A and B are shown apart, each in its own frame.
Chain A
Amino acid sequence: MFNQGTSGKNFQGKEGKSFKVERQEELGLNVDMTKFRMYDYALGRFTSIDPLADANPQESWTPYQYAYNNPIRYNDPYGDCPLCGAVIGAAVDYGTQVAGNLIKGKSFTDALTEDISLSSIAISAGEGFLTSGASVMKKVIVSGIATIVDNTVEVKTSSDGLDVNVETNPGNVVKNVVVDGVSDLTTGGLAPSSKTVKKQLSKVGVNKGEITKKTKKIIKGLDGKVSGNLNMKIKTTSEKFVNGTANTLSTVSESAIKATTNAKKEEIKKKTNN
């Protein structure tokens, strides 16, 4: 990716925060400033190591790389977890399905395993993987394709093993994709965004400043010293915690609303199918 650069692109961070990478032009260094480190766009490498180099199995080759040296396939604005999108996508889809089973009246143990659409989980993982950090256009295209595939092929767990269903009528696929789209827009509109949740959490004392203050108090109470480096670490961790909590609450609310409407949606689809 020689001279590819990252400047001018809006990344969707895994903490749900959109930030613009700043190109450092004053000093003639030819670098982009990202959240944690500087990126040399001519080399296609970061100039310092990944803050989570020890946590990920990437030390074996180089902690200086960006998104496994494949910025077209992977997107990792924080430079610490290129595969997070897939894991989160699969987990959210599975959680929504389990919630739907519980609403249907299944016991908790049955809800975890019965009537789970494996194809839907795989598609959500793929979608999450391809859209984390992607541009709005790419997101729309990938989500559209994912919804079409989701409405065409289905592999589902059942008491007799696996159930495989394929929709052969293209008219039904198109109509069901539209039903899904309208339903997603509605549930997305009803659920609070992570920004709103963050604001409200802040009002009840869950904010970066409060958490940093309390953590420092505890450390000082234990006769510890808060060095400049530790102070920075506490601040970054607090920010990550607040953003992560807000993101999780927002996703959980959206999934719960989706789970309550899913059965009704399937009923509408069945009644309108040819």
Chain B
Amino acid sequence: MQKKKKLKRKQTTNILIRIKERWTLILFALIIVYFSVLIIKGELKEYFLNNYSEIAKGVVINERNYFPNGKVSNSFSYSYKFSFNEYIYINDSQNKSLKIGDTVLIEFYPNYPTFNRLK
């Protein structure tokens, strides 16, 4: 029993050491997976919204989302929210000209309403 326990302990420490030794490669793999997921998700969203979308009314709310590449303009866009089947969905409008309280038309994919965008 004790031997087994010792072996298990050894194995777990070995795995930890291996992870520690190769953390940069793991980090790099995670980065690749993360961006691949972002790209695939974006393309799927485009496809479903272009082909199977429904339209709902939404309202712009006071939640700011900053654009990443503007060192001087520090521009941002407000989020909008809309409800479908008693659930509320919030998303970044990505439109700098919208103001809080504006009513907007939103396209969404009814089977997975998290896929939504401004019409």
- Do A and B pair up? The answer is yes
A residues bordering B, Cβ < 8 Å? Answer: 97, 99-108, 111, 115-117, 120, 150-154, 156, 163, 165-167, 176, 180, 192, 196-197, 200-201, 203-204, 249, 252-253, 256, 259, 262-264, 266-267, 269-270, 273
Interface centre among B68, B73, B92, by most chain A C-beta atoms within 10 angstroms, is: B68
> Quick check: A256 and B35 within 8 Å, CB to CB?
yes
Given contacts A104-B67, A264-B66, A266-B67, contact A99 B35 (CB under 8 A): yes
Q: Which of B46, B76, B91, B94 contacts A270 (CB 8 A)?
A: B76
Given contacts A99-B35, A102-B38, A108-B39, contact A117 B25 (CB under 8 A): no
Tell me the complex Cα distance, A152–B71, Å: 8
Find chain B residues with CB under 8 A from A120 CB. Answer: 69, 71
> Quick check: B27 and A263 within 8 Å, CB to CB?
no
Tell me the complex Cα distance, A107–B45, Å: 8
Complex interface residues of chain B between 47 and 83 (CB less than 8 A to chain A): 64-76
Q: B111 interface residue, CB < 8 Å from A?
A: no
Interface size on B, residues (CB 8 A): 32
Q: B101 interface residue, CB < 8 Å from A?
A: no
Tell me the complex Cα distance, A152–B70, Å: 11
- From residue B3, how far is it (CB to closest CB) to chain A in Å? 30
> Quick check: A252 and B69 within 8 Å, CB to CB?
no
> Quick check: A104 and B92 within 8 Å, CB to CB?
yes
Q: B21 interface residue, CB < 8 Å from A?
A: yes
Given contacts A99-B35, A154-B71, A267-B66, 13 further A-B contacts (CB under 8 A): A105-B42, A105-B94, A107-B42, A115-B68, A117-B71, A156-B73, A192-B23, A192-B27, A200-B24, A204-B25, A253-B27, A259-B68, A270-B76
Q: List 25 A-B contacts (CB under 8 A).
A: A103-B38, A103-B68, A104-B94, A108-B42, A111-B42, A115-B69, A117-B70, A120-B69, A154-B72, A154-B73, A163-B73, A166-B72, A196-B24, A197-B28, A253-B28, A253-B31, A256-B34, A256-B35, A262-B68, A263-B65, A263-B67, A264-B66, A266-B67, A266-B70, A267-B76
Tell me the complex Cα distance, A115–B73, Å: 11
> Quick check: B69 and A262 within 8 Å, CB to CB?
yes
Tell me the complex Cα distance, A249–B30, Å: 12
Find chain A residues with CB under 8 A from B91 CB. Answer: 105
Q: B22 interface residue, CB < 8 Å from A?
A: yes
